[in-house]
Structure formats: structure tokens, C-alpha cells
Structure 1
Amino acid sequence: MRKREFRWRADRHQRVGPPPRRRPDRGQTAIEYLGWIPILLLVALAAIQLGIAVYAVQQAGTAARAAARTYSMQNGDAVGAGKAAISDWLADGTEISPSGAGVEEVTMTARVAIPSVVPGIADFGRATRSATMPVTDR
């Protein structure tokens, strides 16, 4: 004996065929992306600015150490040595000064201007680092 297949019969008033298609949302996705783009740009710029600020702090430490080392060993051009030790694009806004020069040790302080990602928008101040080195026999 053969199995019977059971088929639903459509009501007289029921539509037979594929289900009706929904009308597509025209342009909704594009509008949503346009709303998120400014937020994503701000987050990206903030991340880049944070990276530049951290790099400026690191460069200030490098300049202070190089200046203190040069001054302690040779009593030479410590400011020039400190500026030569850092990136050229940060060296222009860098101030290096001795904050304590004694007989046994010397302390040099470097102040590096933190550049802005968008020029003219904000002043992020200066990154300041100091380094102390023992004075060797000259």
C-alpha cells in the first residue's frame, strides 16, 4: 500500500503562491552609516592624538637623558645634544634647561610641545621630563 501525501488545500479566499514581498527599506542603511561616520572619525582622531601625546612624552624623556649625559660627561652643548636625540618635527618646539647642576650630579629638564592632529583646534600643552646623571671627572 502506498503512503498518501497530505497537502494543504488553500482556502477559496486565500492567495496561492509565494508570500507577498515586503517593500525594501530604500536608503535606510546609507542614512545609518552617515550618522556613524562623524562618531567614528572623532574616535579615530582622539586615538591618534593620544598616540602623539604619548610619543611626545617619550621624546621629552629621551631629550632630557641625552642632554644630562652630554652635560655630565663633557660640559658641552647639552641643549644641542638633547634636540639632536629626538625627532626633527618635535625638536623645534622643545625647550631644554638645566634644573640643577651640582658638583656630583646634573639634572636637565626637557619640555616638548604636544602637537595637535588638527592644527589650530586645541593646545595640548607641553610634555615635561627630567633626567639626572652623575658628573664624571672631566
Structure 2
Amino acid sequence: MLEFAGFLPILLLVGLAAIQLGLVGYAANQAGSGARAAARAASQGDSGEAAGAAAMDGGLTSSIGVSQGGATTTATVEVQVPTLLPFVDTDWSVTKEATMPNDDDAADAADAD
């Protein structure tokens, strides 16, 4: 019983570290989804920032940037990783980028303006 009581804090720490690693993966997945949605919407002439934010979990802190150049649109999304462990630095973030070809109709409409 005494050995288990001594090992329990280590076991809990390993379990919390595994959950924290899962949160990093979750943040990376959400950043990738937001970047793809933002790039897709912006390449079709819609608001990329709104589409990227709608594609991600609303509880995550994120920033979305969209840039158009030539025949492609690139969206960059940075998501703050939620932290579970109290002694871990909270400045972790994950950045994902997605590039989509511009829609010909959207490009023609922009050229007409």
C-alpha cells in the first residue's frame, strides 16, 4: 500500500502528460481544418477569416490570416494550445498553412472591378 501511495503521483503525472499531448494534437488538427476552410472560402471570393473561425472549435484562441497572390490563396492559422498541467508554460501554439488555387469566376470578377 505504501509503495502504491508513493508511485501514485508519478502515475498521475504521466497520465496528465499524455492528455496534454492529446491537446497538442487536437490544436494542430483544428488549426489545419481552419486553414483549409479559410483558404477554400477566400479562393472563392468569400470571407476566409469567417470560414476559418467557423471550422474550428470556438473555445480555442486563434488568429487567422489570408493572403492572395496570383493564382493561389494562402491561409495561415495559429492556435494556442490549451494547457492542462499547472507548471507548464502556456505560450504553446500550433501554426498551420493551406494554399488553394483561386476560383476562375472569383478571379474574373476581381479583374472586372
- Shared fold by TM > 0.5? yes
Q: Distance in 1 between matches of 2:27 and 2:89?
A: 16
Q: Going by fraction, where is helix more abundant, 1 or 2?
A: 2
Structure 2: tracts of 5 or more residues without a match? 107-113
Contact in 2 for aligned 1:67/1:82 (Cα 8 Å): yes
Separation in 2, partners of 1:103, 1:112: 27
In the alignment, what sits opposite 2:21?
A: 50
**Preserved CA contact (<8 Å) 2:20 2:85:** no
The count of corresponding residues between Structure 1 and Structure 2 is: 105
Contact 2:81 2:92 in 1 (8 A): yes
Q: Deviation per CA, 1:74-101: give whole Å up to 9, x if none.
A: 2x221111011011211xx100002x41
Higher relative contact order, chain-length normalized (CA < 8 Å, sep 6+)? 2
**Does the aligned pair in 2 maintain the 1:111–1:126 contact within 8 Å?**
yes
| TM-score, scaled relative to structure 2 | 0.86
The higher radius of gyration belongs to: 1
* Pairs within 5 Å for 1:1-138: 30-74=1-45, 76-90=46-60, 93-98=61-66, 100-118=67-85, 121-136=88-103, 137-138=105-106
Structure 1's 132 and 87: CA in aligned 2 closer, same or farther, altered over 3 A? same
The Cα shift of 1:124 comes to 4.5
Mapped to 1, the partners of 2:30 and 2:86 lie a distance apart of 20
**Given the two structures, how large is their TM-score scaled by the length of structure 1?**
0.71
CA-based RMSD of the aligned residues comes to 1.4
Query: Unmatched 5+ residue regions in structure 1?
Result: 1-29
Greater strand content: 2
Give the superposition deviation at 1:47.
0.2
Looking at structure 2, the residues matched to 89 and 120 of structure 1 have their Cα atoms a distance apart, in angstroms, of: 22
Given residue 41 of structure 1, which amino acid in structure 2 is its aligned partner? L
